[in-house]
A and B are shown apart, each in its own frame.
Chain A
Amino acid sequence: MDSATSDLTGTRPPLRSTAENGLKIVIVGGFGVGKTTMVRSVSDIRPLNTEETMTRAGEGVDDLTDVQSKTTTTIAFDFGRISLNDTTVLYLFGAPGQERFWFLWDRLFSGTLGAVVLVDTRRLADSWYAIDRLEQHGMPFIVATNDFGGPHYSGEEVREALDLPEGIPLIECDARSRESSKEVLITLVNHLYDLSFSARESTT
């Protein structure tokens, strides 16, 4: 790679020339819950960040030519990447679960395989909104609780507080650990596999 290219791409290693299928998994969670840490733990590259903006006409304003009547929503998110084999690359996105983020879900994350809701057990209520929205979007997900040293809650207690159905996997993790973060992703993909498999069984 010449220097003009590395000025743009930094030290990021290039993908193989045979790479052809990009997949997405999203990690959603409240502020400071460990999203970027989890992406970093499993990514082949240092996490990158980018943003998306959406301009919407202001509501209840008559004169739409007035620039001030439009609002711009900006959502920043970070991501990492794992080359799974010669052709398949998995992109992991760490995304804030706050309200304005969901306006951009369809534009950014349609086609996502599934989501991990990362939860700090000291602030369980922070994840209610994200869980609601994933259910509404019909997006399969699992919940991973990150241990920040608060009081320990049993799986049943967390399930109850989140009103989480039995069929949705719930696991504990340490986002700083590569092995633990890998295990979270494997739990999600196993869950997706079960869903996909039984959906196919029931239609044949």
Chain B
Amino acid sequence: MKRPGRDDDPDRLYTVTGGRSRSETDAFDLVTLVVGECEPAAGMQSEHASILRICRSPTAVVEIASDLGLPVSIVRILLGDLHAAGRITARHPRTPATADQLPDPEILKQVLVGLRNL
């Protein structure tokens, strides 16, 4: 068996997520922008409090994962908790979710303009 690294130790991940697995949390894309709707409060799970601090401005799921040093799938579960409790809102990407659908030409035009202006 592979030696577990710092972040993929199953016991640590089990503790952080209270033993739940993903399923209900697929709604969070890597680039869903998360916005905190309240301040961290005493007694909150520390990962939840950290997410609320990070998300005082819109922050992508993948940035949160990087800041917390946790795998993306674990962060999705934590975000699911906060979302269910009304403590965050999520701005989901407006692009097709399946690979065989091409993006809207209008969005692509915006991207081109943005890139040319860099």
Q: List the interface of chain A (C-beta within 8 A of B).
A: 1, 4-5, 8-9, 12, 14-17, 19-24, 42, 48-55, 67-68, 71-72, 74, 79, 81-85, 88-91, 93, 107-113, 137-140, 178, 182, 185-186, 189-190, 192-193, 195-197, 199-200
CA distance A85 to B110 in the complex (A): 8
Interface flags for B40-59 (1: CB within 8 Å of A; 0: not) read 00000000001001101111
Q: How many A-B residue pairs have CB under 8 A?
A: 174
Q: Is the CB of A85 within 8 A of B114?
A: yes
| Residue contact A186 to B116, C-beta cutoff 8 Å | yes
Q: Are A53 and B73 in contact (CB under 8 A)?
A: yes
Q: Which of A50, A53, A182, A197 contacts B66 (CB 8 A)?
A: A50
Q: Complex: how many Å from CA A102 to CA B37?
A: 35
A17 x B108 contact (CB < 8 A): no
CB pair A196 B105 closer than 8 Å: yes
Q: Is B118 engaged at the interface, CB distance under 8 Å to the other chain? A: yes
Chain B residues 14 to 61 lying within 8 A of chain A, measured CB to CB, are 29-33, 50, 53-54, 56-60
B residues sitting closer than 8 Å to A (CB atoms) are 1-2, 4-5, 7-8, 10, 13, 29-33, 50, 53-54, 56-60, 62-63, 65-68, 71-73, 91, 93-100, 102-105, 107-116, 118
Q: Give the complex CA separation of A122 and B80 in angstroms.
A: 46
A79 to B66, CA, bound (A): 10
Q: In the complex, what's the smallest C-beta–C-beta distance from B86 to chain A, in angstroms?
A: 19
> Which of A82, A137, A140 touches B118 (beta carbons < 8 Å)?
A82
Given the known interface contacts A21-B93, A22-B31, the answer about A88 and B65 at a Cβ–Cβ threshold of 8 Å is: no
* B111/A88 in contact, CB under 8 A: yes
**With A54-B73, A91-B62, A108-B72 as given contacts, are A84 and B33 in contact (CB-CB < 8 Å)?**
no
Which A residues touch B111, using CB under 8 A?
23, 84, 88, 90, 113, 189
Pick the 10 closest A-B CB pairs, nearest first: A84-B114, A22-B31, A14-B57, A196-B102, A50-B66, A48-B66, A138-B100, A20-B91, A50-B65, A193-B108
B63 adjacent to A48 (CB under 8 Å): yes
Query: Can you list 25 residue pairs at the A/B interface with Cβ under 8 Å?
Result: A4-B53, A9-B59, A21-B107, A24-B30, A24-B93, A51-B72, A52-B71, A52-B72, A53-B7, A53-B13, A53-B71, A68-B1, A72-B8, A72-B10, A82-B118, A84-B115, A85-B113, A89-B33, A91-B60, A91-B62, A107-B73, A186-B112, A186-B115, A189-B115, A196-B103
Chain B residues positioned under 8 Å from A111 (CB to CB): 29, 93, 95-98
Q: How far is the CA of A151 from the CA of B54 in the complex (A)?
A: 48
Q: A51-B71, A51-B72 are in contact. List 14 more A-B contacts (CB 8 A).
A: A5-B54, A15-B33, A21-B107, A22-B32, A24-B30, A24-B95, A52-B71, A85-B110, A90-B114, A91-B30, A91-B62, A113-B95, A113-B111, A192-B108
Contact: B60 with A89, CB < 8 Å? yes
Q: Assuming the A-B contacts A84-B111, A85-B110, A113-B111, are A195 and B102 also in contact, with contact meaning beta carbons closer than 8 angstroms in the complex?
A: yes
Complex partner residue of A113 from B4, B54, B63, B108, CB under 8 angstroms: B108
